[in-house]
C-alpha cells in the first residue's frame, strides 16, 4: 500500500475491512463452540477454540513474510485474495467440521485455517498502519468489530445455526471486498468484479438453503460422532428420527422420535447428549402411575404444602412427578430456551404440561432465579442438571454454579424449615462431591459436624444394586431428620427396592458415622478420596472436575502450546534484526500482554456473566463491553496522553490496580444489585466492564507505536507473538482457575501487566 492522493480513502476502506474481519472471526469463533459441542464432548471445545486462536498468531508469522519495504508496502490484490479466501473458508470450514469423520486432530486442523487467513490480513494492515501512524484507529476498528460480532452472534445462531451464520458473515466479507476491488479498479482497469460477486451469490445460496432446511447440519454430519444422539439415530432397533431442531447460541436442541415400541415417549437431546424424556400424557394420571416406582418420585410423595421449585425440568418428567404427588404449585426454571420451545411444540403429545394450571415455566439460570426470588418452597428439586453444552468462555459450564457451596446456601435460604433440597445425580463421584459440598455449606451455616450428617440422606437410584451407584438421590434439609422422617423415607425406598446408602437413625454410612463421632474431619475425608471431591465454590465452580491435579487434556494442551511458542520464538529470534532492535524487550512486552489479557478477561467474564443470570446474554454483553471499551481506550488514549511512554506508565499499573480492586470488591458490589430488574443489571454489567476494557485497550497499540518507523516486518512479528501467547494465556487461565480459583487468576493477571511495564521500560523504540 503506497501513500498517494487516495491514502485517506484507502485508510477508511482498510478501517472498514479490519472491522469486518474482526467481527467475522468473533462470530466464527463462537459458532465453533456450537459445532464442536455438537460433534464432540464439551470438554474438548476449549481445546478447539484455543487451537483456532493460535491461527491468529500463525497468521502474523505468515504476514511478516509478506510485508515488503520500509513503509509496509503490500499489494492490494494480495489482500483481496486473502479476504475472498477467508469469506469462502468460514462456511466451508463449518461444513467440513460437521462432515469429516470423527478425529480431534482433523477437526482442530480445519478450525485453525480461517484464523490463519484472518490473522495474516490483520498483521499486514497493522504493519502498514503503524508506518502511517494509524495503529490506534486500526485497533479501535479491530476491537469494535469484534464487540459487534459478540452481540450479532446471539440472534444469528438462535435464528439460523452456525452453518447459515458463517455463510452470512462470509457473504459480508465478500461484499466488503468489493470496495477494495472498486478502489483497485481506478488503478488497473483490468481488475474484475466477477470473483467476489460469484462468491457472494454462492454464499447467499448456501445461507438460504440452510435457513430453509433446519436439518442441513444433521444431514452433513458424520454418524461416527460419539454423542448419544447419533448412537440413537443409527440403532436399527430404535429407528430414531429427528422431528424437531432448534439452534441457539447456547445449544442445539433436537427431539428424536423412535419406533413403535417407544411410541409413548420422545427424547430431547441438547447438543447431541444430555437426553431428557418427554412422555405421552393426556391428563390421565393413572396412565403415568408407573413413574411412582422411580427414585426421583420419592421427594414428591410427601410434601406438606406442595410448593415445588424444579431447576432444569427438561422434557417435563419432574413436573409429572409433581402432578402425581398432588403438588399445589410447580415453578420450573429452564436455562435452555430450546427445550421449552420443543416441549410446547409437542403439547398435543405431552398434554401441554408446561402450561397446565399451577405450573409456571421460567427461562432463566436456576441459581440466578433462586437468588432473586422472594418465595419459599417445600421442595427444591434438581435432577441430572448438566446440559453437556459448552460456553464460549471455556471450561466452566453454566450448571457448575448450581453445585457450589454458595449455591447450597441460596437453596437453603429459600427452603422452608421442614422442606427438602433434592438432587438426582449421575453416579458415586457426583454423590460424594455433592455430599461434601452440602456438609461444608451446613458447617458454614453454624451446624456442628456432629449434627450436620443428620441433615442428609442419600439413596441409590438403581433397584436392587448395592455396589454400583447409579442416579443416586441426595436429600438435604435445614433441620435434622427426625426418626419418623427417616423411617418414612426408608419405607418408601425399600418399597421400590432402592438400597439406602445413608439415612439418619436407620441406615447410616460408616464415613458419616465417623464424622458424627469426631473421629474424622470433613477435610480429612476429602483428602483421603482417590478423586477430587473438594466442595465447589463460586470462585472455583468446577463441580464436574474430578481430577486431583490438572486434567490430562488441559495439561497436554499446555505442553503443546508451550512447545509451539518456544519453537516459534526461536525461529523469530533468528529473523529479528537484533543489532538494531533488541528482540527480548519487545517480545517480552507483547508476551505479557497476550498472557495478561486472558488472565484478566476470563475471570471477569465469569463474574460478570453470573451477575446477569442469563448465560448467553451475559457472555455476549460482557464480551461486547470489554471489547468495545478496549476499542475506545485505543482510540482516545493517544489523544488524552500523547506521549506513548507516559501512557504506558499510567495504563499498565492502572490495569493491575483495577484488576485487584475487581477481585476484592466486584462480587460484593454485584450482590447488592442482584434483585434489580434485568434492564438495570444489563446497564450495570456494561458499566462494570467498560472501564477495565478501556484500560486493556491501551497497551497493545501503544506498544506497536514504540516500534521504530520503517520496521513493518517487526510489527507483524509482534502481532504473531501476541496471538501465540494469548493462547498460552487462555490455557493458563483455565489451569490457574481450576487449581486456585478465579480470584487468584485475576491477581496473577495484574502481576503480569506489571511485568509488561518492566519490559516497556527496556524497549528503546521511539515514535
DSSP per position, 476-528? E-SSPPPHHHHHHHHHHHHHTT--EEEBTTTB--HHHHHHHTTSS-HHHHHHT
The SS3 of residue 719 is helix
Domains and CATH numbers, the chain: 1-223 (1.20.1250), 308-336+355-527 (3.40.50), 540-767 (1.20.1250)
Q: Which helix (H) or strand (E) holds 424?
A: strand 415-424
Beta bridge partners of 422: 381, 475
pLDDT at 581 over 80: no
Q: When comparing pLDDT for 580 and 619, which is higher?
A: 619
Closest CA to 180 of 130, 124, 131: 124
pLDDT of residue 596: 93
The SS3 of residue 319 is helix
Q: When comparing pLDDT for 457 and 580, which is higher?
A: 457
Kindly report which listed range (34-38, 582-586, 608-612, 614-618) carries the lowest average pLDDT score. 614-618
pLDDT band per the 50, 70, 90 thresholds, residue 616? low
Question: CA-CA distance, 34 to 31, in Å (whole number)?
Answer: 5
Tens of pLDDT, residue by residue over 698-737, are 999 999 888 887 777 788 888 889 888 988 888 888 888 8
Mean pLDDT on 6-33: 82
The C-alpha cell of 384 is what? Answer: 441430572
Tens of pLDDT, residue by residue over 344-382, are 999 999 999 999 999 999 988 888 889 888 899 999 999
pLDDT band per the 50, 70, 90 thresholds, residue 68? low
Quick one: what percent of the chain has pLDDT higher than 90? Answer: 26
pLDDT of residue 631: 92
Q: When comparing pLDDT for 632 and 515, which is higher?
A: 632
* Nearest-5° Cα angle at 412, 409 to 416: 160
**Helical H segments across 186-278, by residue range:** 194-212, 216-220, 228-234
Tens of pLDDT, residue by residue over 459-474, are 998 887 667 888 899 9
Q: When comparing pLDDT for 203 and 143, which is higher?
A: 143
Mean pLDDT on 540-557: 81
From residue 590, alpha-carbon distances to 52, 718, 765 in Å are 19, 7, 14
The SS3 of residue 621 is helix
Question: CA-CA distance, 593 to 719, in Å (whole number)?
Answer: 11
pLDDT at 327 over 60: yes
The SS3 of residue 402 is helix
Mean pLDDT on 673-694: 86
Do the beta carbons of residue 726 and residue 598 sit within 8 Å? yes
pLDDT of residue 35: 78
Burial 522-561 (b: 16+ CB within 10 A, else e): beebbeebeebbbbbbbbbbbbbbbeeebbeebeebbebb
Closest CA to 37 of 97, 100, 90: 97
pLDDT of residue 389: 45
pLDDT of residue 1: 46
Mean pLDDT on 425-444: 92
Mean pLDDT on 619-641: 88
pLDDT at 307 over 70: yes
pLDDT of residue 183: 64
Closest CA to 690 of 735, 720, 658: 658
pLDDT of residue 619: 74
pLDDT of residue 193: 60
pLDDT band per the 50, 70, 90 thresholds, residue 192? low
Question: CA-CA distance, 23 to 20, in Å (whole number)?
Answer: 5
Do the beta carbons of residue 12 and residue 141 sit within 8 Å? no
The C-alpha cell of 519 is what? Answer: 473421629
The SS3 of residue 21 is helix
Phi, psi (5° rounding) for residue 260? -65, -35
Mean pLDDT on 303-329: 88
Quick one: what percent of the chain has pLDDT higher than 70? Answer: 86
pTM of this structure: 0.84
Mean pLDDT on 164-174: 84
Return the HEC string of 334-349. Answer: ECCHHHHHHHHHCHHH
pLDDT of residue 319: 94
Amino acid at each position: 500500500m503506497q501513500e498517494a492522493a487516495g491514502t485517506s480513502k484507502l485508510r477508511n476502506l482498510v478501517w472498514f475491512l479490519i472491522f469486518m474481519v474482526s467481527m467475522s472471526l468473533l462470530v466464527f469463533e463462537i459458532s465453533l463452540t456450537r459445532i464442536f459441542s455438537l460433534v464432540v464432548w464439551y470438554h474438548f471445545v476449549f481445546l478447539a477454540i484455543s487451537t483456532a486462536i493460535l491461527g491468529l498468531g500463525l497468521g502474523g508469522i505468515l504476514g511478516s513474510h509478506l510485508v515488503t519495504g520500509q513503509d509496509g508496502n503490500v499489494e492490494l490484490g494480495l489482500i483481496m485474495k486473502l479476504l475472498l479466501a477467508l469469506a469462502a473458508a468460514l462456511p466451508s470450514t463449518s461444513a467440513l467440521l460437521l462432515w469429516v469423520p470423527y478425529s480431534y486432530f482433523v477437526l482442530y486442523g480445519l478450525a485453525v485455517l480461517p484464523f490463519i487467513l484472518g490473522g495474516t490480513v490483520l498483521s499486514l494492515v497493522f504493519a502498514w498502519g503503524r508506518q502511517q501512524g494509524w495503529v490506534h484507529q486500526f485497533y479501535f476498528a479491530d476491537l469494535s468489530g469484534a464487540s459487534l460480532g459478540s452481540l450479532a452472534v446471539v440472534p444469528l445462531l438462535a435464528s439460523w445455526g452456525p452453518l447459515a451464520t458463517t455463510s452470512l458473515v462470509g457473504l459480508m466479507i465478500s461484499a466488503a471486498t468489493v470496495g477494495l476491488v472498486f478502489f483497485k479498479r481506478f488503478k488497473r482497469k483490468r481488475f474484475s468484479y466477477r470473483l467476489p460477486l460469484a462468491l457472494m451469490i454462492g454464499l447467499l445460496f448456501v445461507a438460504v438453503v440452510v435457513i430453509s432446511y433446519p436439518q442441513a447440519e444433521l444431514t452433513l454430519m458424520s454418524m461416527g460422532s460419539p454423542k448419544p444422539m447419533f448412537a440413537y439415530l443409527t440403532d436399527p432397533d430404535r429407528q430414531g428420527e429427528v422431528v424437531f431442531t432448534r439452534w441457539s447460541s447456547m445449544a442445539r436442541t433436537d427431539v428424536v422420535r423412535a419406533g413403535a415400541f417407544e411410541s409413548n415417549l420422545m427424547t430431547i437431546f441438547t447438543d447431541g447428549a444430555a437426553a431428557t424424556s418427554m412422555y405421552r400424557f393426556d391428563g390421565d394420571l393413572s396412565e403415568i402411575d408407573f413413574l411412582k416406582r422411580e427414585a426421583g418420585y420419592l421427594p414428591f410423595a410427601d410434601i406438606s404444602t406442595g410448593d415445588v421449585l424444579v431447576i432444569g425440568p427438561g422434557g417435563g418428567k419432574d413436573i409429572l412427578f409433581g402432578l402425581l404427588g398432588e403438588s399445589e404449585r410447580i415453578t420450573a426454571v429452564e436455562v435452555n430456551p430450546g427445550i421449552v420451545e420443543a416441549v410446547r411444540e409437542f403439547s398435543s403429545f405431552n398434554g401441554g404440561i408446561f402450561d397446565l394450571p399451577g405450573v409456571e415455566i421460567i427461562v432463566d439460570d436456576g441459581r440466578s432465579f433462586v437468588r432473586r426470588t422472594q418465595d419459599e418452597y417445600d421442595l427444591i428439586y434438581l435432577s441430572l442438571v448438566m446440559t453437556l453444552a459448552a460456553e464460549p468462555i471455556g471450561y466452566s459450564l453454566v450448571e457448575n454454579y448450581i453445585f457450589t457451596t454458595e449455591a447450597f446456601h441460596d437453596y437453603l435460604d429459600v427452603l422452608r424449615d421442614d422442606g427438602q433440597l433434592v438432587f438426582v445425580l449421575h453416579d458415586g463421584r457426583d454423590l460424594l462431591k455433592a455430599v461434601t459440598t452440602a456438609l461444608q455449606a451446613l458447617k458454614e451455616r453454624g451446624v456442628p459436624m456432629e449434627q450436620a450428617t443428620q441433615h442428609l440422606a442419600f439413596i441409590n437410584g438403581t433397584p436392587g444394586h448395592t455396589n454400583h451407584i447409579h442416579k443416586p438421590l441426595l436429600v438435604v434439609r435445614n433441620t435434622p431428620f427426625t426418626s419418623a422422617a427417616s423411617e418414612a423415607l426408608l419405607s418408601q425406598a425399600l418399597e421400590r427396592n432402592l438400597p439406602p446408602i445413608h439415612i439418619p437413625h436407620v441406615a447410616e454410612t460408616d464415613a458419616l458415622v465417623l464424622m458424627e463421632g469426631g473421629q474424622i474431619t470433613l477435610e480429612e475425608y476429602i483428602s483421603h478420596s482417590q478423586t477430587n471431591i473438594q466442595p465447589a465454590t463460586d470462585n472455583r465452580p468446577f463441580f464436574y472436575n474430578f481430577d486431583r491435579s490438572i486434567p490430562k487434556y488441559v495439561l497436554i494442551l499446555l505442553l503443546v502450546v508451550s512447545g509451539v511458542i518456544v519453537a516459534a520464538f526461536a525461529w523469530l529470534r533468528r529473523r529479528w534484526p537484533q543489532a538494531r532492535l533488541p528482540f527480548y524487550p519487545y517480545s517480552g512486552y507483547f508476551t505479557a500482554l497476550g498472557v495478561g489479557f486472558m488472565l484478566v478477561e476470563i475471570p471477569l467474564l465469569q463474574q460478570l456473566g453470573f451477575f446477569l443470570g442469563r448465560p448467553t446474554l451475559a457472555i455476549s454483553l460482557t464480551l461486547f463491553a470489554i471489547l468495545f471499551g478496549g476499542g475506545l481506550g485505543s482510540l482516545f488514549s493517544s489523544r488524552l496522553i500523547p506521549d506513548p511512554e507516559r501512557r504506558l506508565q499510567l495504563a499498565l499499573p492502572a490495569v493491575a490496580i483495577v484488576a485487584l480492586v475487581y477481585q476484592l470488591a466486584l462480587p460484593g458490589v454485584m450482590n447488592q444489585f442482584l434483585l434489580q430488574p434485568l434492564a438495570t443489571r444489563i446497564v450495570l454489567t456494561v458499566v462494570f466492564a467498560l472501564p477495565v476494557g478501556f484500560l486493556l485497550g491501551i497497551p497493545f497499540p501503544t506498544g506497536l507505536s514504540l516500534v521504530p518507523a520503517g520496521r513493518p516486518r517487526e510489527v507483524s512479528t509482534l502481532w504473531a507473538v501476541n496471538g501465540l501467547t494469548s493462547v498460552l494465556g487462555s490455557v493458563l487461565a483455565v489451569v490457574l482457575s481450576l487449581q486456585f480459583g478465579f480470584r487468584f487468576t485475576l491477581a496473577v493477571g495484574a502481576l503480569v501487566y506489571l511485568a509488561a511495564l518492566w519490559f516497556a521500560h527496556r524497549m528503546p523504540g521511539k515514535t
